[in-house]
Amino acid sequence: MAKKPDLDVFGLLKAQRRWAIRFGPVDVSTAFTDGQVNAAINTGNDARVKLDLERSTATPDYFAGLGVAVEQEGTVIPRFTGTVAAAEPDADGVSVKALGMLSLSEAVLNTFTYRGFNGPELIYTLARSGGMRDDQLRIEGLDALPRETFEVIVPVSGIVAEKPTGFAGVHFIPPDTASRILAGLDTSDGKYDGFDAQAYALALVTTTLALTAEERGVATIDFALAWLTTYLRYGHATLPSGETLHFSRKDSLARLTRQDWVAIRGMQTGRFWLRRPGLLPQPHSIPLAPDGRRFHADVPRLTLQERLAFLALARAANESDLLARVLALFEAIEFYASGTAVERMFAQAELDAIKASIPATLKPEQKGRINDFVANLNSPPLRRQLMKALDVDGVTYTPDEIKMLWQLRKLRNDVVHGKSKEMPKAEDVEYATSIVARMLVYRAARRRREES
């Protein structure tokens, strides 16, 4: 075989560098006109990129996060990964500013008292509490932490514990027993009064990281409270065993809640912290300035389902629990797509032929089950109905964005049905919220055009 001529004998093509700019799954490298990446210990990582979106075939979503890399000689060198803080359009395009640790600056640390922890573990706890994932962190020293059993204690409301009582894998203990975990802590200034309760829940967790112990312990306590609540709300006059139920409506309606304080102590190392988990969102108010571009003061005529979709999106935006946010997002999607007509997959003659082919030897209940199934063959799946609604409204989207929505849905369903323990990632839920908001804004724009 003849050798192909070397079209790059001077290595000029190989030496060329290409900036790769991505917002989540959307590649906008062709729109890149200028930019700068800064990495400094004292100021943190930040990036500024200038884009001419008219040169890009895809439109980015700022909630997807910004990734900047350099491609040279077939090698991709990541330079920046962060969160978009601002985007300002101008005559030449749009200037985007992103920060590498924005999630930490958007919140403030709750009450946090500790002793016996080394620097790496505290940094890890702060970063994780700020929304960073394990795969984004490389902290030396964590692997050296010993494996031990931790006591995880939280105050609970709605329960009185006069003596330690084991229930559903958790020990419910009285105040005098729980107070020993605060030994040596100065509580005279009243800063920790929120930790006071009539009863406390204690879970034992064996692991290496205190944050892992806290998460598992709190999850165990939450399930124990849910288990107890379920049995309290049981009102049937007889129990599954056949015994007659002892019933008190007042007791059954008790609200069992876990307060937002957690004390944790390693029984081997003595590592201790008392805190309110997570970060408090920084309060922020926006100036209300309807301009007809981003903020429309007028509301077009919407159907009941469309209004409910907006309300569900608002719940998804303000809910703190990630699984609940995913559930609210798909409630918004269902309301958004409802009523959208899609082409039937089966003609009536085909449905009649399927029914006629049912074996006569089947039992009546079996035939009824098959008939019900056949009757629903033309009921469109939610995803197919959604894609039709997006096309009708002219919504811009990428296949990867729809894929991510359904991955979140599957993840949520797997957790609910006990198939997985993986929780949604906060940044993915934020991105998904923006995608669903995009659908609703486009729907409102279509309704507005229909009125004009």
pLDDT in tens, 331-355: 999 999 998 877 776 677 777 777 7
Mean pLDDT of all residues in the chain? 83
Mean pLDDT (whole number) for 291-320? 87
Q: Which is nearest to 67 in space by CA: 20, 102, 110?
A: 20
What whole-number distance in Å separates Cα of residue 70 and Cα of residue 84? Answer: 19
Strand partners, 206: 149
* Confidence grade of residue 69 (pLDDT, cut at 50, 70, 90): confident
- Are the CB atoms for 48 and 36 separated by under 8 Å? yes
pLDDT at residue 104 tops 70? no
What percent of the chain has pLDDT above 90?
Answer: 35
44, β-bridge pairs: 40
With 70 as the cut, is the pLDDT of residue 419 above it?
A: no
Model pLDDT for residues 371-397, shown as the tens digit of each residue: 777 676 656 788 889 999 999 999 999
Q: What is the mean pLDDT of residues 210-224?
A: 89
pLDDT at 287: 77
CA atoms within 13 A on the CB side of 363: 3
Amino acid at 334: E
- Report d(CA 221, CA 259) in Å as an integer: 11
Phi, psi values for residue 5, rounded to 5°: -65, 145
- Has residue 280 got a pLDDT over 60? no
* Per-residue confidence (pLDDT) for residue 185, from 0 to 100: 72
- Arithmetic mean of pLDDT, 185-194: 71
What is the arithmetic mean of pLDDT over 174-194?
Answer: 78
Task: Write out pLDDT tens, residues 132-148.
Answer: 666 666 778 888 889 99
Beta bridge mates, 149: 206
Q: pLDDT at residue 41 above 50?
A: no
Confidence of residue 408 (pLDDT cuts 50, 70, 90): very high
> What is the average per-residue pLDDT within 171-187?
83
Taking 60 as the threshold, does the pLDDT of residue 281 lie above it? Answer: no
| Cα angle 200-201-207, degrees, rounded to a multiple of 5 | 135
Mean predicted confidence (pLDDT) in 275-301 = 73
Q: Look at residue 381 in the predicted model and tell me its pLDDT.
A: 81
pLDDT (tens digit per residue) in 255-269: 998 888 899 999 999
Q: Which runs of consecutive H residues, i.e. helices, occur in 281-363? A: 304-318, 322-337, 348-356
Q: Can you give the pLDDT at residue 424?
A: 82
pLDDT at position 7 over 70: no
**Alpha-carbon torsion (236, 239, 245, 250), positive or negative:** negative
pLDDT band for 305, please (50, 70, 90 cuts): very high
pLDDT at 97: 92
In this model, does residue 67 exceed pLDDT 80?
yes
More confident residue, 170 or 40: 170
Whether pLDDT at 452 is above 70: yes
